[in-house]
């Protein structure tokens, strides 16, 4: 476990690591199928997708309820074709959504870990800066005392 004690300035400079872009690292690690799953997850949970599905349902059911008998293709009351297509959409989207959510969860964990590293590093650096400021203050107090004599 790392100590929270301030480090000497030279040691801080030696220990300095470049800041990582977790978002870029995560994106680069994803396969094409994983990127597709994340894209689906990002777009399915939108009002736009809901409106498209809702409009498709209204048009489909409305046409098959109100159109002349010879022009309907999915008869009332069963709407078998509509149910089949709706179920297929659900069957294919459910695993993709779960995969996308798992990938997004891993990304969130990586971001949280990186944030913790940055915060820990900043805390150490701030402690060192405060220690240096305190030393400077002590030196200035000594100089003032010598000047007053």
pLDDT value at position 32? 93
Output the pTM of the full model: 0.62
pLDDT digits (tens, 9 = 90+) for 130-145: 988 999 999 999 999 9
Using a 10 angstrom Cβ sphere, with 0-12 exposed, 13-18 middle and 19 or more buried, the burial of residue 90 is exposed
The answer to whether the peptide bond before residue 77 is cis (omega within 30 degrees of 0) is yes
Q: What angle do CA 18, 22, 24 make, to 5 degrees?
A: 100
Q: How confident is the model at residue 3 (pLDDT cuts 50, 70, 90)?
A: low
Q: Say how far residue 103 (Cα) sits from the centre of its chain.
A: 9
Annotated domain spans of the chain: 9-148
Q: Are 100 and 40 in contact (CB under 8 A)?
A: yes
Q: Tell me, what's the pLDDT at 1?
A: 46
Read off the pLDDT of each residue in 62-86 and give the average, rounded to a whole number. Answer: 92
To the nearest 10°, the Cα dihedral for 115, 121, 127, 133?
-110
As a whole number, mean pLDDT of residues 1-12 equals: 62
């Amino acid at each position: 476990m790392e100590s929270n004690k301030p480090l000497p300035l030279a040691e801080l400079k030696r220990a300095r690591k470049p800041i990582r872009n977790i978002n870029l690292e995560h994106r680069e690690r994803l396969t094409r199928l994983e990127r597709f799953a994340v894209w689906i997850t990002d777009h399915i949970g939108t009002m736009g997708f809901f409106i498209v599905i809702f409009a498709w349902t209204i048009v489909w059911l409305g046409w098959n309820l109100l159109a002349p008998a010879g022009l309907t293709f999915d008869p009332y009351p069963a709407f078998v074709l509509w149910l089949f297509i709706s179920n297929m959409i659900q069957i294919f989207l459910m695993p993709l959504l779960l995969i996308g959510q798992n990938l997004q969860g891993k990304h969130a964990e990586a971001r949280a870990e990186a944030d913790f590293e940055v915060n820990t590093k900043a805390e150490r650096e701030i402690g060192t800066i405060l220690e240096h400021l305190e030393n400077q203050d002590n030196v200035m107090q000594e100089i003032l005392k010598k000047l007053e004599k």
